Amino acid sequence: MTSNIYLTSANGAPIAEDDNSISAGERGSLTFDNYRLFEKLAHFNRERIPERVVHARGYGAHGTFTLSNDLSDHTIAKFLQGTEKKTDVFLRFSTVAGGQDSGDFVRDVRGFALRFYTEEGNYDIVGNNTPVFFLRDPAKFPDFIHSQKKDPRTNLPNPAHHFEFWANNPQSMHQITVLMSDRGIPKSLRHMNGYGSHALSMWNDKGERVWVKWHFKTNQGIETLTNEDAAKMPADGIHADLVNAIDQGDFPSWTVKIQLMTEAQAKQYPTNPFDLTKVWPHSDFPLIEIGQLELNRNVQNYFAETEQVAFSPSNMVPGVGASPDKMLQGRLFAYADAHRYRIGANHQQLPVNRPQCPVHHYQRDGAMAQGSACPFSGHNQNAGVNFYPNDREEAPKPKPEVAEPPMPLEENAWVRAYDSRDEDNYTQAGALYRLMSDDQKLQLIGNIAGGLKQATESVQKRMVQHFTLCDADYGMRVQAALEV
């Protein structure tokens, strides 16, 4: 059957010939009127945008969040009110430290970034497959990532750098214990949990705020790999597993749960509830099931969707908010700024980033701005007035009733840099260690020793001291493994 779809150039004109360039004679030089060739080569030179500095190797899919527990007592967010309410989502998994050239089965934290396309705008929860992180202050984030990237001299991975950073930053001990455990290499993206990790917030129509942590518990069960098992896996195995499962109708799903903490509880709690290196114990703040998350549609174009999707914790809707978590505060700026650099000022106009509700604002122009025939319906707002306040009745105006209640500050707070490097870096890491089985402890110690042996004697000594402060047996076993 002959197709009636004709090849065109980028301006839509039909192309008569696309296999051969125009030349001066059969064997002669090419001529300067090869506009079709020039268009193809020029676009080819620009096909790649800068890869993400972190979370570069990603895997995405579309799906649905179905609410089963009405949260109207805690939030005015419409997508969290009622039951059986469905919201479209996009979920991007990723490795963190490696570039796009890294393998699927490296020992690394996995990103778990989830977008809800709500009726009031996009809400992004940008987390990982671990409930904690290496740091509690964003000032050290660039240094941390530099230590995890390739050696600047050899351009090769260097575990000695990892441990040198950690030896000087014991706030990482809890996350190290998770990363080096049997959960450090997921068997697949379907067989791991996701966490919002940060303390976030919700607020209701009475102006009452609660702090919240999000948990996404895999319904497929946790399955992981040892270093030896991972070495036998194909480089793209995790990506293929997700694509094939969804294509075959075996839709992965997660039970969505939250923890809630009142403002009064936060003030009285003995540890800082906004410290990203710590969890909220389930015994104090039990998990509350609120719904199901299912992935049921693969992307149609990896670049347009998975590579250009732009998550940011600053993408919030009425009824949800941030918290005094310092890492979160830094990310409110850094994530959106990274996307403006990578994709452009109008990255939110791309289909995968575009809200599924009307957008009305006074931001204008910039590269790739899109419009439409009506004054306020296009993202560039077309003929609509471009400043506020104004005298136009039809122009967008603020909606005071969705204002977030004021966030309390510490009484008599003084503005300065506060040193939190010694803010109990060991208790929860030790508690996690003591929960492990003997086999899990064996894997943990082996994984730590494999990289730590490549560090200097000074780094090894300090790391053993840190592990010992977590748990005496923990430190003793690491020391013994280093001596073998």
Residue 481 or residue 15, greater confidence: 481
User: CB of 470 within 8 A of CB of 430?
Assistant: yes
Give 149-161 as a DSSP string. S--TTT-S--HHH
> What is the spatial distance between Cα 187 and Cα 406, in angstroms, rounded to a whole number?
44
Query: Angle, to 10 degrees, between the axis of helix 438-452 and the axis of helix 159-167?
Result: 100
User: CB of 425 within 8 A of CB of 170?
Assistant: yes
Domain annotation for the chain: domains and CATH numbers: 7-47 (4.10.91.20), 58-147+183-343 (2.40.180.10), 427-483 (no CATH)
Residue 26 backbone phi and psi in degrees, to 5: -60, -35
Number of other CB atoms surrounding residue 12 within 10 Å: 6
* pLDDT for residue 50 is more than 60: yes
Band (407; pLDDT cuts 50, 70, 90): confident
Given this model, what pLDDT does residue 380 score? 65
Q: Check if 425 is active-site.
A: no
Given this model, what pLDDT does residue 394 score? 85
Contacts of 333 (CB under 8 A, 6+ apart): 314
Please tell me whether residue 214 adopts helix, strand or coil conformation. strand
- The residue from 62, 74, 128, 425 that is catalytic is 128
* pLDDT for residue 465 is more than 70: yes
On whether the pTM is more than 0.85, the answer is yes
Band (378; pLDDT cuts 50, 70, 90): low
User: CB of 353 within 8 A of CB of 347?
Assistant: yes
* pLDDT for residue 484 is more than 90: no
Give 189-204 as a DSSP string. GGGS-EE--S-EEEE-
Band (379; pLDDT cuts 50, 70, 90): low
- 3-state SS of 273-302 is CCCCCCCCCCCCCCCEEEEEEEEEEECCCC
* pLDDT for residue 467 is more than 70: yes
Alpha helices by DSSP H, 284-365: 326-342
Listed range (3-17, 115-129, 379-393) with the worst mean pLDDT = 379-393
Band (9; pLDDT cuts 50, 70, 90): confident
Band (413; pLDDT cuts 50, 70, 90): confident
Q: Check if 360 is active-site.
A: no
Largest CA distance in the chain: 85
* pLDDT for residue 371 is more than 80: no
Listed range (19-28, 301-310, 332-341, 380-389) with the worst mean pLDDT = 380-389
Mean pLDDT, residues 398-423: 86
DSSP state of 187: S
